[in-house]
């Protein structure tokens, strides 16, 4: 079903919008949440919370043409919050590896929690992502936004794991320099 | 947690980037082109190798079929009765040495050792010794197989 039609259902306050969203994107949203929380039940709760939040956000939002990323952003944010709140959730080795990796892109002396709000950091990252190739950008987003493993990205994009690792290494190093540069002007 | 905070705060990257990475499909033509390039490379390598190493000119050449051997850069084929008659090796057609008939040679018949050859028999590679046949010039050679049987090979016409 077309995304625009589902968005129209939300806008018309038709509850079938939720079942249509679940039908089309439920599996992907659960995967995103599960990669963060490493717990199927919590991932399902995150997915359900996503539909509720989307229901409340549309309108005023009208994510025509980007419904998936709109829902995925909500799921991802809920899952990360849930992970931070629930100490019972055991962080997967993959997530620990991933967070350690991304820390290498953070310039020393910067406290991410204090120094940047989400909009500022996203603006800086968006600026950097516009300067790199589509392939590098996609790999970066699959890894640090969708939190996919190197093996998953390799399979999805038909690129060797070693190439992905070196691509990510260079991207992190460049991003670090970019943040440092941008950080002075913020 | 520094890394997790960073990941959380990068949640608001542009929708278009997220959509693009989700809808990204590797161009099949690119994959096909890549494999075609790999195949072409192998073909070029094979051609170059053939040009650089046109064949082994030494006696220890490997032939894939025992019916044809290469000794000192010359190709020989196992002689048929017609060939043996042509070279004057056989005078009695009833006692020919052909590719179908094993033969035990005498020391006089062997002549000068001109090299050794690897020959394939029933899928196995065996070493044979090639002698310049005493009755003739380099156009005929006698190959001694490991079990002391001999076969006559005559020069292979191009």
Q: State the DSSP string of B29-40.
A: HHHHHHHHHHHH
Residues 6 or more apart whose CB falls under 8 angstroms from that of B122 comprise none
DSSP A107: P
**Position A1 pLDDT exceeds 70:** no
Q: In what helix (H) or strand (E) does residue A159 lie, and over which residues does it extend?
A: none
Task: Residue window 30-59, chain B: list those with CB within 8 Å of chain A.
Answer: 31
Please check the confidence at residue A97 and state whether its pLDDT lies above 90.
Answer: no
Alpha-carbon gap: B30 to the closest alpha carbon of chain A (Å): 11
In the predicted model, is pLDDT for residue B54 greater than 80? no
Nearest CA in chain A to B20: A138
Under DSSP, is residue B143 helix (H, G, I), strand (E, B) or coil?
strand
The arithmetic mean of pLDDT across residues B1-28, rounded, is 81
End-to-end CA distance of chain A: 43
- Do the bridges between strand B113-121 and strand B124-132 make them parallel or antiparallel, or are there none, so unpaired? antiparallel
Residue A28 tokens read as: 């992907």
First and final C-alpha spacing in chain B: 79
Provide the whole-model pTM: 0.59
Measured distance CA(A26)–CA(A48) in Å, rounded: 9
Q: Do the beta carbons of residue A167 and residue A136 sit within 8 Å?
A: yes
ipTM for the predicted complex: 0.84
Contact B47/A98 with Cβ under 8 angstroms? Answer: no
Q: Which of B12, B23, B25 to mutate to test the interface with A (most CBs of A within 10 A)?
A: B12
pLDDT tens digits, residue range B85-140?
Answer: 677 666 554 444 554 556 667 666 777 888 888 877 777 777 888 887 766 567 88
Kindly list the residues from chain B whose CB atom is less than 8 angstroms away from the CB atom of residue A83.
Answer: 4
Asked if B5 and A118 come within 8 Å (Cβ–Cβ), the reply is no
Nearest to A68 among B3, B6, B19 (CB): B19
User: Does residue A53 carry a pLDDT above 50?
Assistant: yes
Q: Give me the total of CB pairs closer than 8 Å, taking one residue from chain A and one from chain B.
A: 110
Which residues of chain A are within 8 Å of residue B29 when distances are taken between CB atoms?
A: none
Of chain B, the percentage scoring pLDDT greater than 90 comes to: 0
Three-state DSSP state, A87: coil
A36: which residues sit within 8 A by CB, 6+ positions away?
Answer: A76, A79, A80, A82, A83, A95, A147
B18/B124: higher pLDDT: B18
């Amino acid at each position: 079903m077309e995304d625009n039609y589902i968005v129209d259902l939300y806008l018309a306050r038709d509850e079938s919008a939720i079942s249509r969203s679940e039908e089309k994107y439920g599996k992907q949203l659960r995967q995103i949440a599960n990669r963060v929380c490493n717990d199927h039940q919590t991932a399902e709760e995150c997915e359900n919370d996503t539909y509720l939040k989307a229901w409340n956000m549309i309108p005023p939002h009208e994510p025509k043409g980007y419904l998936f990323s709109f829902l995925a952003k909500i799921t991802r944010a809920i899952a990360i919050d849930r992970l931070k709140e629930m100490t019972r959730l055991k962080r997967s080795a993959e997530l620990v590896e991933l967070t350690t990796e991304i820390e290498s892109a953070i310039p020393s002396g910067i406290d991410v929690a204090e120094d940047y709000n989400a909009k500022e950091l996203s603006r800086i990252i968006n600026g950097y992502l516009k300067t790199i190739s589509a392939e590098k950008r996609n790999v970066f987003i699959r890894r640090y936004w969708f939190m996919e493993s190197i093996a998953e990205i390799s399979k999805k994009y038909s690129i060797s794991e070693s190439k992905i690792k070196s691509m990510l290494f260079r991207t992190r190093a460049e991003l670090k320099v970019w943040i440092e540069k941008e950080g002075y002007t913020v | 947690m520094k890394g997790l905070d960073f990941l959380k705060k990068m949640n608001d990257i542009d929708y278009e980037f997220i959509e693009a990475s989700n809808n990204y499909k590797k161009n099949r033509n690119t994959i096909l082109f890549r494999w075609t390039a790999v195949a072409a490379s192998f073909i070029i390598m094979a051609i170059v190798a053939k040009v650089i190493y046109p064949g082994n000119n030494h006696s220890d050449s490997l032939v894939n079929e025992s019916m044809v051997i290469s000794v000192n850069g010359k190709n020989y084929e196992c002689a048929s009765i017609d060939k043996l008659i042509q070279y004057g090796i056989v005078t009695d057609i009833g006692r020919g040495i052909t590719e179908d008939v094993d033969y035990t040679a005498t020391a006089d018949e062997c002549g000068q050792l001109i090299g050794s050859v690897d020959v394939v028999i029933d899928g196995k590679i065996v070493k044979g010794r090639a002698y310049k046949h005493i009755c003739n010039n380099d156009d005929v050679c006698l190959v001694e197989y490991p079990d002391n049987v001999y076969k006559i090979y005559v020069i292979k016409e191009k």
